[in-house]
Amino acid sequence: MWRYKRPPAARNGWLLAGLSLIGPAASGHGLIGADADPHLAPAPPSAAQAVRAATALRPVRDFSGPEPFEANPAGAATVRRADKQAFAQPAATLDFESELDFRTGKSLFEKLWVSSPSSTLASDGLGPLYNARACESCHIRDGRGHPPAQGEVPVGLVLHLSRPVVAEAVGGEAGVARIPDTHPIAPDPVYGRQLQTRALRGLSPEYRLSISHDTIEIPLAGGARATLRAPHYHLNDLSYGPLAADTMISPRAAPQMIGLGLLEAIPAADILAQADPEDGDGDGISGRANIVWSMTYQRPMLGRFGHKAAQPSLRDQSARAFADDLGISTPLLTAGWGDCTAAQAACRSAPHGDADARVFEVDATGLDLVTRYARNLSVPARRNPGDPQVLRGKQVFHDTGCNACHRAKFITHVLPEQPAQSFQLIWPYSDMLLHDMGPGLADNRPEGRATGQEWRTAPLWGIGLTETVSGQASFLHDGRAHTLLEAILWHGGEAQPHRDRVIALPPADRTALIRFLESL
């Protein structure tokens, strides 16, 4: 395995095995996987490639002009679009056959599912309880979801549910109990893993959501003031009785879809080399890796996807979304009723789309095509990276310490079987680790190794096109922030000193910082 930075094994005791990550307390369970994630099959870099990587990853020192290749955040896969379809483009490096698979996966991603039984057997199986009829409904043009307007049924925002349990209570379910230092959780006994806002005829949606807000005023240096809105979520008209007394709720806005295959292709060792869970260097930043169970590979792996890095691969992530959001079965999550629990007998006994020759409502081929679609959505090129105000904002970004978590660049694995993601210099502006973001953003709901105050550093690439693509600007895990400045001002915990430096900036520097972020 290629490691251009010293792996952290000596510091944190973790054993690295390609993309598998198994702690010493788990090694006795025989969970150590193969040398690499099977679908990646990385090759070692050549000596020349290693030299190029070391040169490309040097920290920036000169802010007088853009860095080499900075305008291409997805490397050779970068696309030249800045309109509302900017996030929906295939990687520029796809060959003809791969682009055909991409287009087929896109059709499945955009498909409107219908209830069973139906004459359109390839499209039935929706629900019976669900949040959306299509993946595209939540990820608007492959961009971010957002909270609902007053009186609107939410689509791009869902409420996750879980209850704390002792490890023995989950037994070996999904291998969670065998991952050290994790927080075992279980679904709500009646409502499952997620609340559904829609239902097929004859059934009732699980609840109706309303949101109220408290207003928080933040004075800024220079005399300006910023206004934050703290959301409160109200669960009305619960159709199947109350939630369990200890059920925890976490609102989650659908994230943007761009560059996911490149994030999946970052060597795990290079992500873990930045982890400092005990803050050994005393800089106040203690990024931690989430270690989660892979349904696809039946072993613990580094979590990469989702707001708390709770999914290890795009295939796992896609199957989970099909089950929880649409009520669609796949070879990984086989229940035709999706997230319905045993307490919801009418849902479980309703017709499902897996009674025909498909076996699953989305079979292995369909799941793989949707996964390939997600893997090959590219990232749009930077806008005006050489603009003097953008360059000043980039320097402010570094001077205030934002780059401590929002790491600018990585180089992906050498992947002979995935040339579109192979050996690319990418600029996601994320370290892919968990960080304590303080009580203001806390959902108080653990997930894997993540605590109730920890979130994965969100990639910033494409963030300046959020409103263009999605129709409105909304940021953070629940979409509460309507501007990039609001998103910064919600940062607490490890990021509190950096947020305070932004507050204290001269107005011109604060404007330059936002201009830089808008260029990403």
- Counting DSSP H helices and E strands in the chain, the numbers are 15, 15
pLDDT at 22: 32
Distance from C-alpha of 211 to C-alpha of 391, rounded to nearest angstrom: 39
The boundaries of the domain holding residue 262 are 9-519
Q: How confident is the model at residue 174 (pLDDT cuts 50, 70, 90)?
A: low
Angle at 186 between CA 238 and CA 125, to 5 degrees: 65
Q: Once rounded to an integer, what is the mean pLDDT over residues 376-396?
A: 98
Distance from C-alpha of 471 to C-alpha of 482, rounded to nearest angstrom: 12
Share of the chain above pLDDT 90, in %: 83
Token duo for residue 137: 């409904």
| Residue of higher predicted confidence among 232 and 26 | 232
Q: Once rounded to an integer, what is the mean pLDDT over residues 281-292?
A: 94
Distance from C-alpha of 152 to C-alpha of 199, rounded to nearest angstrom: 16
Lowest-confidence segment of 103-107, 192-196, 356-360 by average pLDDT: 356-360
Domain annotation covers residue 129: yes
Amino acid identity of residue 95, one-letter, is D
pLDDT at 169: 53
| Residue of higher predicted confidence among 181 and 24 | 181
How many structural domains comprise the chain? 1
In terms of average pLDDT, the best of 144-153, 159-168, 456-465 is 456-465
Distance from C-alpha of 23 to C-alpha of 419, rounded to nearest angstrom: 31
* H-state helical runs in 152-243: 167-170
pLDDT at 289: 96
Distance from C-alpha of 10 to C-alpha of 505, rounded to nearest angstrom: 39
Domain annotation covers residue 3: no
pLDDT at 435: 98
Angle at 519 between CA 135 and CA 404, to 5 degrees: 90
pLDDT at 5: 31
